Amino acid sequence: MTGAEENPACPVSEVLDRVAGKWAIGILIAAAKGPVRFSELERGVTGISRRMLTLNLRKLEREGLLVRTVYPTVPPKVEYTCTDMALELCETLLGLVDWAKRHGADIAQAHAAYDAAQEARPSVTAAL
């Protein structure tokens, strides 16, 4: 039996390891709106450095999620476009974004309740 047969989440984990990162989701969602230039992505993905944007664009291109088109102009014009596969992924990501917006406060409350319960619980090392 292979690992994928043993654990049905394996393919998801494998894909997420390749395409999900701190910046990849924001880049894909921004690029899903149509051809986008580097400077537009730089402005649209809050907090990303030029270097990280460049590295992530290369990675997403390598994964088959973005197509980089260079136009022979001076200065060169470069656009990034989502592939059909990336557009399909973006639909799923937008669903995840919607879920996160709806449940973010619930998760924060659960964290606070858990942390409060942990602080109220006697420490195992204190009992020793």
pLDDT in tens, the chain (128 residues): 455 456 776 777 777 777 777 899 899 999 999 999 999 999 999 999 999 999 999 999 999 999 999 999 998 899 999 999 999 998 888 888 899 999 999 999 999 999 999 988 876 655 55
CATH code given to domain 3-99: 1.10.10.10
Q: For position 35, what pLDDT does the model report?
A: 95
Which residue ranges make up each domain of the chain? 3-99
**Residue-level pLDDT at 20:** 75
What is the spatial distance between Cα 121 and Cα 116, in angstroms, rounded to a whole number?
9
Q: Is the dihedral of CA 97, 101, 103, 105 positive or negative?
A: positive
The C-alpha atoms of residue 31 and residue 68 are separated, in whole angstroms, by 11
> Which positions ≥6 away from 90 have C-beta within 8 Å?
28, 29, 32, 82
pTM for this entry: 0.73
